[in-house]
Amino acid sequence: MKIIRAVVFLSSAAIVIMGIFYDWRICFPDGIGECPFDNLRFNVIYPLVMFSKALFPVSFVSYFVSDKTYKKWGIYAGVWFVFTWLLVLVTPAYRHSFFSMDPTKEQVSLWMSVAFVVISFGMFAWEAKPWKQLR
């Protein structure tokens, strides 16, 4: 189980590093604003990097929880990832008007990432032993 935890932690760290490198060195090195894979940037790259940024601290904390809790969290994380991905895919890439309240892909991935972190830490806290004695 520790190997799986290490793989999740290291892969999320690698995706975050590659996303930062993509933005700083590939997309906007001279302020030009032209990116390779520009059509995939909002649909795939940014949501994946945003989810990995949320997964990184949670996967570090997962080293300190029991295997039973980690298995529950792993199922939750997989379902949450698919749900977030579907929401991001159906969300428009930009707003249609200035006063529109439609969320963009970046906003959806940001809020879903924040909710993922909060729910994950809540799950870890709920499964901790002191809380179990109060139930």
List the chain pLDDT tens, one digit each, 135 residues: 778 888 888 888 888 888 888 777 667 656 566 677 767 777 777 778 888 888 888 988 888 888 888 899 999 999 998 998 888 888 876 666 555 567 777 788 889 999 999 999 999 988 876 655 655
* Domain boundary assignment for the chain: 2-134
The closest of 64, 54, 58, 49 to 129, measured between CA atoms, is: 64
The model carries a pTM of 0.76
> Hey, is 116 helix, strand or coil?
helix
> Hey, is 9 helix, strand or coil?
helix
- CA 6 – CA 81 distance, rounded (Å): 19
CB-side neighbour CA atoms (13 Å) of 11: 8
Q: What b-and-e string marks burial along 50-81, b requiring 16 or more CB atoms within 10 Å of the CB?
A: bbbbbbbebbeebeebeeebbeebeeebeebb
